[in-house]
Structure 1
Amino acid sequence: MKVLVGLIAAVALGLALALAQNIFAPVAFALFIIAVVWPLQSRLERRISPMLATLSTLVITLVVVSALTYLIIWGLGRVGQWVFANASRFQDMYEQAGIWLEGHGFVLGAVVAEHVNVRSMLRVFQDITSRLQGLTSFLIFTFVYVLLGLLEVPTVESQLQRLSRSTDKRAGLGAFLLAAIADIARKFQKYMVVRTLMSIATGFIVWLFTLAAGLELALAWGALAFALNYIPFIGPFMATLLPTLFALAQLGSWQMALFIFISLNVIQFLTGSYVEPRIAGAALSTSPFLVLFAVFFFAFLWGIAGAFIGVPILIAALTFCAHHPSSRFIADIFSGKMAREGKE
């Protein structure tokens, strides 16, 4: 019965998150941003008034987020212009694919090749770009919450400290919340530092590689690899697939396109699965299965924004579990770390 009730509660929670996307998604992003930028806010408050420090922090954050969003729009715009200018190359490629599929008995493949043409690709680019531009209203709501949240952080902290010093049962709750929230904030900050460093490295390497391989729009590919790397799994996959398709159209060689595809995947694997975990350390170690689930689950609920915020939500949930004795085993199970012999 408990399991059944838990499943029903999980389904109801997921439905509520999906239906109230316009409410919950900005709040989740705002809490994440507040945790990441709070050290900057604290340093500014030592020099200027709290209100001015909050406004300065908000402006800096808005500039960074807007620049990242513009970078994706700019990169996709350059790619879309190239597709339009070289439509004949893609049309020839799709026609040849249809002939080859039909010649090898793949009738459905030929039908797909007939319908997946240059116009459909342009519509995809236009749809993605319009969705990114539609994030404007989402960002407005998010930054309103950020502004109000930054102003309330000292008040909430003082209330939790007072609660932790009380003599009743609520003292444990106050201490638990203070420790868990502080730990979550530290992990969020480290997560963004590591993710930013890896995104810069990935974008730079992809730019150099595509430039050396003779691909056009090398700067756009590097910019997209940098910006999309903030979205686990989905972003690197898109940053790998798009240059491969364009290499096939530009160079006209499936061998070269395959080489580019494999090379870009090796770059993504080395930076994302080898270098990044070693820089992040044990503090951010999480089960890859849960990371993948979180990315696709929240992408299903909230779209592009959910794909980004899914991993931070997972980190916060596991951190809360780790700080409470009754749920610590959940954090241990999904930590992605091997248990040591002799450890209780």
Structure 2
Amino acid sequence: MIKDRVVRILVGIVAAVIVFAAISEAQSIVAPVVFALFVIAIVWPLQKALQRYLPGVVAALATLLATLAVVGTIISLVVWGFARVGQWVFANASRFQALYGQAHDWLEGHGFVMASIITEHFDVRWLLLVFQDLSSRMQSLASFLIVTFVFVILGLLEVDIFKRQLAGLRTGTFGPFMLSAGADIGAKMQRYMLVRTLMSLATGLVVWGFTLASGMELATAWGVIAFSMNYIPFIGPFVATLLPTLFALVQFESWQSAAFVFVCLNVIQFLSGSYLEPRIAGKALAASPFMVLFAVFFWSFLWGVPGAFIGVPLLIAGLTLCAHHPASRPVADLFSGRAPQEETPAT
């Protein structure tokens, strides 16, 4: 019995590795489909409302155009923010080089030989290459978005048909299970994006106000970057905190000022992501922080930046599916991040 169980576990692990390897290799096909399903789950209430007054095809096109406008605006803001930062780096390249020269002298004076070797070979063009690579990656999203929105428009036209087909299944419980789980997943995706958008807006405004009040240049760009990066848990806030800190060090030429900026930005990110957001989202979106971090890094490993964004929604969808089936409900409870409720003694 034990040997058979071990064999089944090993076979399951091997099968999972093969499946995820195939998903990684088929990213150009699978990722747009996954994102299309995610977008459909979010925008379906809008199309449902429009269908009361418009034909189905017109309602789907109107929903798609509204979605394209929102996504295009966010991407344009991201490109604009990083472009402004890249221009500032180019204009102040000598200041970056001087800063790293000072770091080289300090490290060498304190006996950090390996670190001084690294700083000695530092070239500010590395930063420029980073921003150029980031800009090219953002531009490459255009083809990805085109394929995704083709799936979105086709999916929006077939949601009602698919629901009727599931409801018409007369054998087994698959139809009712998928209808119930799908409705729950859709509601959670909508709530997740609503909360994430509100917190991103609040974070961007507060970061903009703080950087403006502290006298930092590019305050609007830092606010835009904080807003857009907040959609990616953990990684996004880290980038939105580290970049302004580095630039504050170059602008003010003071470690104390840079440390002050770093601490304040971390407080802002902590209050937004770890305090306010869980309370606004409520228990419906509860997930273990360990699993959230794992999902972000795991899917970013498979699909890059798109994977980092979609990792948490996929985790929420998986836990919701598990919660709707009695056999897998313990898995959802285990990774919910919530302590089990204590039973109240009978009186």
State TM-score, norm by structure 1.
Answer: 0.97
Following TM superposition, by how much is the alpha carbon of 1:245 offset from its aligned partner in structure 2, in angstroms?
Answer: 0.2
Secondary structure in 2 aligned to 1:117? Answer: coil
Following TM superposition, by how much is the alpha carbon of 1:342 offset from its aligned partner in structure 2, in angstroms?
Answer: 2.4
1:34 & 1:173 partners in 2: Cα distance? 21
What per-residue deviation string (whole Å, max 9, x for no partner) do you get for residues 142-181 of structure 1? 0000011101101100001111xx2x3x2x1111100000
Match 1:101 to one of 86, 101, 107: 107
The yes-or-no answer on 1:319 pairing with 2:320 is yes
What per-residue deviation string (whole Å, max 9, x for no partner) do you get for residues 47-71 of structure 1? 1110010001001101111111111
* Equivalent in the alignment of 1:286: 287
* Equivalent in the alignment of 1:206: 207
The yes-or-no answer on 1:113 pairing with 2:119 is yes
What amino acid maps onto 2:180 in structure 1? A
Secondary structure in 2 aligned to 1:326? Answer: coil
1:128 & 1:307 partners in 2: Cα distance? 15
Following TM superposition, by how much is the alpha carbon of 1:6 offset from its aligned partner in structure 2, in angstroms?
Answer: 1.4
Structure 2: gaps of 5 or more residues: 1-6
* Equivalent in the alignment of 1:243: 244
State TM-score, norm by structure 2.
Answer: 0.96
1:338 & 1:28 partners in 2: Cα distance? 31
The yes-or-no answer on 1:83 pairing with 2:89 is yes
2:287 & 2:260 partners in 1: Cα distance? 31
The yes-or-no answer on 1:17 pairing with 2:23 is yes
The yes-or-no answer on 1:332 pairing with 2:333 is yes
Aligned residue runs from structure 1 range 1-344, under 5 A: 1-163=7-169, 166=170, 168=171, 170=172, 172-342=173-343
What amino acid maps onto 1:25 in structure 2? A
What per-residue deviation string (whole Å, max 9, x for no partner) do you get for residues 116-141 of structure 1? 32100000000011001110000000
* Equivalent in the alignment of 2:4: none
**Against the structure 1 CA distance between its residues 115 and 147, is the aligned structure 2 distance closer, same or farther, given a 3 Å change threshold?**
farther
1:34 & 1:127 partners in 2: Cα distance? 30
1:286 & 1:3 partners in 2: Cα distance? 25
Following TM superposition, by how much is the alpha carbon of 1:2 offset from its aligned partner in structure 2, in angstroms?
Answer: 1.5
2:121 & 2:269 partners in 1: Cα distance? 31
1:130 & 1:290 partners in 2: Cα distance? 31
What per-residue deviation string (whole Å, max 9, x for no partner) do you get for residues 73-126 of structure 1? 100000000011111110100111111112222222112213332100000000
Identity %: 62
2:88 & 2:61 partners in 1: Cα distance? 40
Secondary structure in 2 aligned to 1:109? Answer: helix
